[in-house]
Copies of this chain bind each other. A is one copy, B any other.
Amino acid sequence: MINKLVSKIKETGAPIVVGLDPMLSYIPEQILAKAFTEYGETPEGAAEAIWQFNKEIVDHTCDLIPAVKPQIAMYEQFGVAGLHAFEKTVKYCKEKDLIVIGDVKRGDIGSTSAAYAAAHLGKVTVGANRISAFDEDFATVNPYLGSDGIKPFIKVCQEENKGIFVLVKTSNPSSGEFQDRLIDGRPLYEHVGEKVAEWGAEHMGDSYSYVGAVVGATYPEMGKILRKVMPKAYILVPGYGAQGGKGADLVHFFNEDGLGAIVNSSRGIIAAWQQEKYEKFGAEHFGEASRAAVLDMKADIGQALHNG
């Protein structure tokens, strides 16, 4: 799956992942109204609106991008109905040949981590059957519990040809509270990065590992160091756009081969129609606004990599 990600990034020329993190406030009135008419102002209504919204965005961007990253929290808040919309979204994106990175940030130990790995990347045994639940291609994983939390995911990745991105340095303002603290003279995130490189050696693709890392666009200097600490890890870079990361900041996350990083934008793409820059599309054509925003992001990153 990491080989497929690399080849799709080359094919599209776009090291971009669109974050499918729908808030109801991003969804145009006509979609909400239709869903609420059909299902009421209920979790089912919200889930239907999210699903219709996602479909339109995917339809308008799937030829431009290699991957999407649905954030499961945005679905989980609507309970079982919301998670059903998550499931449908994953399936639909895979039908469109997009790689799906489940942004689930799960992490537990032993049999529990194995259950999360089965839920999101693998299969579970029920009687004589082996059944997939959410079946994403990649999942994000939290490292706080150490190797016991990560290894069960790697095992499933090996069985199913899938991958993970381990949180190393997150994009948020307070990420330094623990992640930046010095241990033997180097910040915790570097130690985590070293473990990512070590875990990644257990499951290599052709040029990159199935074990990648999450490093926020908002910390480009740290990205530069982490790029060297884990040269074979693909870096998933959140924090571009709405969170303040700029194209020029991104160059450090890439390797000399122009590969090694994939940059996420969520609100900047899926709620593009609400921005002044794209308001000419109007609420009716929000999918086209998202398409324009992807093209602009691609140009911004291309320019930065060219200059860098």
Task: Give A contacts to B, CB under 8 Å.
Answer: 21, 23-24, 32, 36, 41-43, 45-46, 71, 73-74, 76-80, 82-84, 87, 105-113, 115-116, 118-119, 124-129, 131, 133-134, 142-149, 167, 170-179, 181-184, 188, 191-192, 195
Are B133 and A41 neighbours in the complex by a CB distance under 8 Å? no
Are B133 and A78 neighbours in the complex by a CB distance under 8 Å? yes
Given contacts A127-B36, A146-B172, A167-B144, contact A133 B73 (CB under 8 A): no
> Could you tell me the distance between the alpha carbons of A169 and B143 in the complex, rounded to whole angstroms?
13
Are B127 and A145 neighbours in the complex by a CB distance under 8 Å? no
Closest residue of B by beta carbon distance from A129: B41
Expressed in whole angstroms, the minimum distance between the Cβ of A196 and any Cβ of chain B is 12
Expressed in whole angstroms, the minimum distance between the Cβ of A243 and any Cβ of chain B is 9
Given contacts A78-B131, A145-B167, 11 further A-B contacts (CB under 8 A): A45-B127, A46-B124, A73-B106, A73-B112, A73-B116, A79-B119, A105-B108, A143-B144, A144-B170, A177-B195, A181-B183
List chain B residues, Cβ under 8 A from A41. 126-129
Closest residue of B by beta carbon distance from A180: B146
Number of chain copies forming the complex: 2
List chain B residues, Cβ under 8 A from A36. 127
Closest residue of B by beta carbon distance from A128: B41
- 29 A-B pairs, CB-CB below 8 angstroms? A32-B127, A43-B126, A43-B131, A43-B133, A71-B108, A73-B106, A73-B113, A73-B116, A76-B115, A76-B116, A76-B133, A77-B118, A78-B119, A78-B126, A79-B87, A83-B83, A107-B142, A109-B175, A142-B144, A143-B144, A144-B170, A146-B172, A146-B178, A146-B179, A147-B174, A148-B175, A178-B192, A182-B183, A183-B183
